[in-house]
Amino acid sequence: MELRVTERVSKIRWIFLPLGMCALVAVGTHAAADVVGDKVLFAVDRVDAFFDAIFSSWSVTAPLVDLVGLGERTFFARAVALAWELSADALLAIPLLGYDERAAADELTIARVLVKRRPSLRLVQPAAALLVSIAGAAAVARLLQGTLLHYPLIGGFVAATALFGLFLLLAPRAVFRSLEHASAQKTAIGLLGLAILGPLAIAAVASL
Amino acid sequence: MKPRLPLVELVLCALCLWAAWYHTPAGALVRTAGAWVFRTHTTARPLLAYYGAGTLVPPPEHALPLPGPVPPAQALAYGAFAVRADLGSPPAIASRLRSLAQTLHSEDAAALALFCGEETAHYAMEHAGSQPHLIDLARALPPSKTCVSQAAQALMLGGAYALAWPLPESVRITSPFGMREHPLLGGRRLHAGVDLGVMKGAPVRAVADGIVRRASSDGVNGRILVVDHGGGVVTSYCHNDELLVGDGDHVRRGQMIARSGNTGRSTGPHLHYQLDLGGEPVDPLRFRAQRPKTAVGASD
Ligand SMILES: [Zn+2]
């Protein structure tokens, strides 16, 4: 009976593994984007001050200074954080849906070959995927423990188990798939991708 | 190839999907799109509400009429009372908050305990860093707790009740907060702050401790300072003649931060003082027992 359940579950791994990895990275990018939010607010203030200084010089554009008022800045900052997060999802999480599992040893061999190639911007995605999936695993564990906060022992155990499991079973696959995807692309993600993923990866570490 | 732990993997993937589905804006986007396609109802929050762990809240609609000046030690209690009147009288809430702050070693944690319970606050304190703000405490808790939003509102209002005034109380208000006919542009517009008629060069003081978020100059606001006091409380000081602090500087309550003036779009020397709570401009006089007298004078 138990064997049958295991077999059935094995048959649908090709659906749930990519979905789970994609979700793990999405949770990680959100944890990172949430940290970025505050910094974005400061950046929005600088940009806003810059444009206010320009727009206020002509009577035609002066009303724009009022339009982006003090209240709207928080909204803008959060909107920038959201756009940042969704772009990172598109660059990191969505490609994970194309994961096609091979034997672990084969995946390791392929990964070694890909990493040893000429170092380039192609390594940005897997590196970001690593940090973001660690942040994602920590965020999932935190959510579990917080949900079970009235049962501290069970909560602590469940969170630690989930964290260990995610580090061991999902995060490495996400990194591998990211490496594989980045290597298969015709062009590297470029400086724009680096500008999106770089700060987010640092923020992912800060979110831990 | 035979997978070794398919059931464990299934559970882990389900956990990740649960977290992404309910606790990220990307999940909310998918849920909203699904609800739109299938014409069903969704509990997904607005996308921007997923940031700040539920602590980025708008100020409550109704102001508490103040019977007299708020003692600084009771400002947070007044804020809590304005959010939930069933918590008791402000002095009673203040003494409860004092004892909670003593056991939890943090005012923010005390506010959290008041609304979410002591057990939750202790848990959050254990899992947040040292000297945590409400946002750090809230990040340790599962999201969508309305009590966290209430604690955030109480701290925000408490911060507003504790604010000092940027100029001497005797300075008259030349244009109050609210809808009005614009003195220069015409048409009815919201005046998002209060205009205080002072001579050029008068010292402008920070109304609370904070960090200068913006020190810049433009043709509309003139030389402007924006100071972030934390907890969603932000004050702005426009049309100054001279700014005495810069971007990122820490300022103390009562510190001289500018000299008032007549820069930007203005009809004469005055200070435009603005209070924003949770990103929305509110009437700073809502949080003061004494109201400065009004007079005809310069405005913007
Ligand atoms: Zn004004």
The residue ranges of every structural domain in chain B are: 72-161, 173-287
Domain B173-287 is found in CATH 2.40.50.140: no
User: Which residues from chain B sit within 8 angstroms of residue A30, using beta carbons?
Assistant: 20, 23-26, 50
Of B7, B15, B24, the CB nearest to A30: B24
CB contact A103 to B (< 8 Å): yes
pLDDT score for B155: 94
Query: Would A56 be classed as within a structural domain?
Result: no
Q: Are B176 and B194 in contact (CB under 8 A)?
A: yes
> Is 60 exceeded by the pLDDT of residue A67?
no
Contact A85/B at CB under 8 A: yes
Instruction: With a cut of 60, say whether residue B3 has pLDDT above it.
Output: no
Band of residue B246 on the pLDDT scale cut at 50, 70, 90: very high
Say whether B270 sits in a helix, a strand or coil.
strand
Task: Specify if A194 maps to a domain.
Answer: yes
What average pLDDT does range B91-108 have in this prediction?
A: 94
Q: Quick one: which of A17, A28, A76, A20 has its CA closest to A197? A: A28
* Average per-residue pLDDT for chain B: 89
A23: in domain: yes
Alpha-carbon torsion angle A83, A85, A91, A97, nearest 10? -120
CB B257 within 8 A of CB B243: yes
Going from the Cα of B277 to the center of ligand 1, the distance in angstroms, rounded, reads 17
Mean pLDDT of all residues in B176-203: 87
Query: Looking at beta carbons, which residues of chain A come within 8 Å of B27?
Result: 26
- Which residues make up the environment of ion ligand 1, defined by Cβ < 5 Å? B 193, 195, 272, 300
Position with higher pLDDT, A45 vs B152? B152
With CB atoms and an 8 Å threshold, state whether A102 touches B26.
no
Phi, psi for residue B277 in degrees, rounded to 5:
-115, 125
**Residue A139 counted as domain residue:** yes
Question: Which pLDDT does position A6 carry in this prediction?
Answer: 79
Chosen from A4, A27, A97 to mutate, greatest number of chain B CBs within 10 A: A27
Does a structural domain hold residue A75?
Answer: no
CB atoms within 10 A of CB A83: 13
| Chain A residue with Cα closest to B8 | A165
| Cα gap B97→B74, rounded to integer Å | 9
Q: Would you place residue B62 in the very low, low, confident or very high pLDDT band (cuts 50, 70, 90)?
A: low
Distance A78 CA to ligand 1 centre (A): 27
- Across the range A90-94, mean pLDDT stands at 91
A66 within a domain of the structure (yes/no): no
B137 vs A60, more confident: B137
The residue range of the domain holding A131 is: 16-30+85-206
Domain annotation covers residue A160: yes
| Choice between B264 and A10, residue whose per-residue pLDDT is larger | B264
pLDDT confidence band for B198 (50 / 70 / 90): very high
* In a domain? residue A138: yes
Residue ranges of A 179-208 with Cβ closer than 8 A to chain B: none
* pLDDT at residue A130, as a whole number: 94
Interval A145-165 mean pLDDT: 92
Residue from the list A9, A46, A145 with its beta carbon closest to the beta carbon of B10 = A9
Which alpha helices (DSSP H) does B4-145 contain, by range?
A: 6-23, 25-37, 75-83, 90-104, 107-116, 118-127, 134-139
Q: Which ipTM was obtained for this model?
A: 0.89
Pick from B7, B48, B143: CB nearest A75: B48
Q: How many domains does chain A have?
A: 1
pTM: 0.82
Contact B243, B168 (CB under 8 A): no
Using the structure block, give the residue that is written with the tokens 């809240």: B57
Average pLDDT over residues A147-165: 92
Q: In the predicted model, what is the mean pLDDT of residues A109-135?
A: 83
Residues of B in contact with A165 (CB under 8 A): 8, 11-12
Average pLDDT, rounded, for chain A: 84
b vs e for A126-153, b when ≥16 Cβ sit within 10 Å of the residue's Cβ?
bbbbbbbbbbbbbbbbbbbbbbbbeeee
pLDDT range class, residue A23, cuts 50, 70, 90: very high
The neighbour count for residue A4, using CB atoms within 10 Å, is 8
Residues whose CB falls within 8 Å of the CB of residue B12, separated by 6 or more in sequence, listed in order = A20, A162, A165, A166, A169, A170
Nearest to B6 among A9, A74, A150 (CB): A9
pLDDT at B210 > cutoff 60: yes
Measure Cα distances from A32 to A57, A135, B142 in Å.
Answer: 38, 7, 17
Contacts of B119 in chain A (CB under 8 A): 149-150
User: Largest Cα–Cα distance of chain A, in whole Å?
Assistant: 78
pLDDT recorded at residue A69: 61
